[in-house]
Amino acid sequence: MYKNLIAENKEGILYITINREDKLNALNIELLQELKQVVATIYSDASIKGAILTGKGAKAFAAGADIAEFAKFSESEGVALSASGHDIFNSIERCPKPFIALVNGFCLGGGCELAMACHMRIASENAKFGQPEVNLGIIPGYGATQRLVQLIGKAKAIELLLTADMISANEAKDLGLANHVLPTIEDAMKKCEEIINKIASKGPIAVAKIIECVDAHFSKTENGFEKEIKMFGWCMTTEDFKEGTTAFVEKRKAIFTGK
- The residues that touch ligand COA, with contacts defined as CB under 6 A, are 23-24, 26, 63-68, 106, 108-110, 132-133, 135-136
- Is 239 known to be catalytic? no
Q: How far is the CB of 114 from ligand COA (least distance, A)?
A: 12
Q: How far is the CB of 45 from ligand COA (least distance, A)?
A: 31
CA count, 13 A, side-chain hemisphere, 251: 0
For ligand COA, the closer CB: 22 or 250: 22
For ligand COA, the closer CB: 6 or 67: 67
- Rounded to whole angstroms, how far apart are CA atoms 253 and 239? 15
For ligand COA, the closer CB: 134 or 151: 134
- Is 250 known to be catalytic? no
Q: Which of 113, 159, 186, 212 is labelled catalytic?
A: 113
For ligand COA, the closer CB: 26 or 161: 26
For ligand COA, the closer CB: 5 or 213: 5
Query: Which residues carry out catalysis?
Result: 113, 133
